[in-house]
Chains A and B, each alone.
Chain A
Amino acid sequence: MSENLEAFRSEIRAWLEANCPAEMREPMKSEDDTYWGGRKAVFKSEAQKAWFEACRDKGYTVPDWPKAYGGAGLSAAETKVLREEMARINARSPLSSFGIWMLGPALLQFGTEDQKVHYLNQIARGEIRWCQGYSEPGSGSDLVSLQTFGEDKGDHWVVNGQKIWTSYADKADWIFCLVRTDKTNKYQGITFMLFDMESPGVSTKPILLISGNSPFCETFFDNVKVPKDQFVGTVNRGWDVAKYLLGHEREMISAGGAGADMVSAGALYAKSLGKNANGELDDPILRAKMAEFDVDVFAFRAMGERFMDMWKTGRAHPASSNMMKYSGTELNKRRYELVMSGSGSEGLEWESDESRNGASARTWLRTKANSIEGGTSEVMLNVISKRILELPGG
């Protein structure tokens, strides 16, 4: 087994050497260096196109999905080797996609065979860009209070309502969307629907954020016709799908806390802060804060490893992803407060080339949403106290 894995590793190394262009091993310069695929996709460079197509053809955009659904059919151990080898050369992700991160896992779990073959292949090949229609104005973390209504018209629904915080809705081709189909049952009256954003009656409006960017949109549905077969799971039981998907989303958001790099906060700022005669950072209070943060980062990384080990083998408490989400996002907010302190006045730059168009400041501002999106920290704490600690009260 391990010998086969080593052979696989050599094979991957050779393949990466031949197929991953040098430009795709450089850190991204701005947010739009990410390739999102979709009908309206444009490649930023020849290298980006070549890298994406090479991965797509091997099934490496979703290496652990079955081949029939566009993946490479790799085992968990092989997938790990692939990711390690890609990380070793700092290869960029060939495709960013809510289809891969969120909808795909839900379809693998709840989709019909036809849906899997059709939608998963599209996702794996980056042909359709998806967005997520969960939040609504006034519902926020109380997701289940959503009002968007799908009226049953026999062979189709007519959907009316408004979504908010729909990431990249203005750039998406299709939406996976929670729609109320039974007003008499709060939890068992929601259907998980899929439909084309070009359907008549769909419109979007970007929301400018404090970070100066607008990845989020308001999305409006005005008598949108959705065919009756475009739902996942069971009609009125969409909450089951939504919860499953949220688990994945929280996993993804919480991973941000541990950070992709192994560089400690203090080591990162050793140069800009300068060191005293003892080789310590020049600002003792900031040094202490960074050391405390590093303890928490290394500790959280161990937690991430344990969480994944337990999650994959069914040992984790079903609500433990709420704990990961809570701790990871609070940690990531702390990280960017330190980034701003460590970079001093240079971190304030908003529009210069050297600052990569104010990447630090914009990311710092963006992280403030980490403990709001996907359920607030307060909601996570409610879930932990009720479901894990089993504390009393409604």
Chain B
Amino acid sequence: MELKEQLNDIFCEVFDDDDIRISEEMTANDVDGWDSLSHVNLIVSIESKFNIRFSQKELLTFKNVGDLLNAIRSKLG
């Protein structure tokens, strides 16, 4: 399964909404319930699913889903 699809599944699970279709430009404003609390759950789910660990600097500079995807890709690379 492509990385983006895998990430989409995590989004659906965390935000409890099967209709979410992520895109690179998507931000927290575009997803219902994506606040600072659910953001932590999202990050923890991604880290455990891909078995990676983001740095503080990465976590504080993600602007959109595209940044998130790039960071995952570079870690799996």
A-B complex is real? no
